[in-house]
Structure 1
Amino acid sequence: MITYQQSVRYRIVLCGGRKVSTMSVTPLRGGQARQDELLAATIDVLRETGYDRLTIDAVVARARASKTTVYRRWPSKSALVVAAFTDAVRAIPARPDTGSLREDLVVLLDGLVAEFDRLGDVMTGLIGELRRSPDLAEAMRTGFIKARRQVMMDVFDQARERGEIAGDADLETIWYLGPALVFFRTLMLGEPVDGAFVRRTVDEVVLPVTRAAT
C-alpha cells in the first residue's frame, strides 16, 4: 500500500531510446490517518450512491476535508475510487493448510463470502464502470481477483502434491467455479450465502471436477 508520504503519478520519458515510467511525489497533509479517513469516506459514499453519482463534494463532506486536500493526492474521481477500492481489498487471505482440499476450499470460500458481505455492495456499484475505466478494471482484476486466484491455485498445488487432484484437471478453469457461484448468488441475485451453500458448492461442483479424468 502506498503510504501518505507518496502520491504515485507516472509519466513516460525517453531514456536511451526506451520508454521509462518515472514517479513524482505529492505529500498529503494530515498523514496516514487522514488518508485512511478519506479512503474510508469514499467507500461509504460509494455504498450509498454508486460510482456514477459519487462526487468529490460528497466525499470531502463525509471526511470533513477540503477539495484541495483530495486533489493534491488524487487528480480525479476515478483515481480516488481506484485508491479507495485498492486499499479496501489490500488484505490478501492467508493460504489455508488443513491437510484436506475440501477443508481448504471451504475456508477460502467462507472468507470470500465474508469479503462480499463487507464490500459486495461497493463491487456491485463498480461493475458497470469497469468497461469505461481501465484503471478501475485493473484494480479489480489485479488487486482483488488475481491475488485471490493465486491463493486458490496454491491450495490446488498442495492438493495435487497429496494426490487429491487428477493430473489432467483443468485448474485454470476450475479455480473460479466456487467464487463465481458465490459472486452470482450474493451480488447478482441478492440471496444469502451460508455455510451450507459453501459446502454444497465444494462437494457437488468443485471437488467432482478436480477428480474427473478427461
Structure 2
Amino acid sequence: MNKKIKKQDWLKIPNLLSYFRVLLIPFFVHSYLIAQDWNGHLIAAGILFLSGVTDAIDGIIARRFNQISDLGKLIDPVADKLTQVAVAAVLIVNWPIMAYLLVLFIFKEFSLFIINLLLLKKGQVIDGAMWFGKIGTIVFYCCMFILVISPSIDSTLLMVLILTTAFFQLAALVGYLSVFFNLYKEPNV
C-alpha cells in the first residue's frame, strides 16, 4: 500500500483537466451570483456543463491511455467535491431549502472520509468511485444543472429535483457503507 506521487503525474492530461475543474469553480460561483437574466444563468450553466464534461473526459483519457495515477485518484474526487459543494452553496441564494441538501452532501462526504481513514488504518482502501457513487454524481450534476439554468423553477419541480438528488446521495452512502463493512471485516493486510 505504499503509494507515491510521481513527478511526471503532475502534467498528465487527466490531472490537468482536474486542475482546470478546480479553476472553473470561482468562475461558476461568480457568474451564478451576478446572473440577472436567463443569459447570465446560461453562462453559469455552461461553466457547470464544461466542468462536468471535463470530469467525464479525464476519466476516459486516464483509462484509455493508461494515465491513471495516484495523484489523479486524489485530485479528481477533490475537484468533484469542491465543485459540488460550490454548486449547492450558491443555489442556496435562490432556494434556501438547498441548505438541507448541502448538509446531507457534507455529511455523506465526511462519513466517507472517516470510513476511508478507518480502512487506511487496516491497510485497506476503497479504490476509486463505485458505480453507485458515479450514478449519484451524475444525478447531482443533472439536477443542479436544471436548477442553475432555471432560476424561476416551479416549487414542485424544485422539490422533485432536491429529493431525487438527496435519494441518490443517500443511496451512494449506503452503498459505500456496505463496501466498508465488507472490507472492514476482512483480516488485516
TM-score w.r.t. structure 2 length? 0.39
Larger gyration radius, structure 1 or structure 2: 1
Q: Which has the higher helix share?
A: 2
Q: Which has the higher strand share?
A: 1
TM-score w.r.t. structure 1 length? 0.35
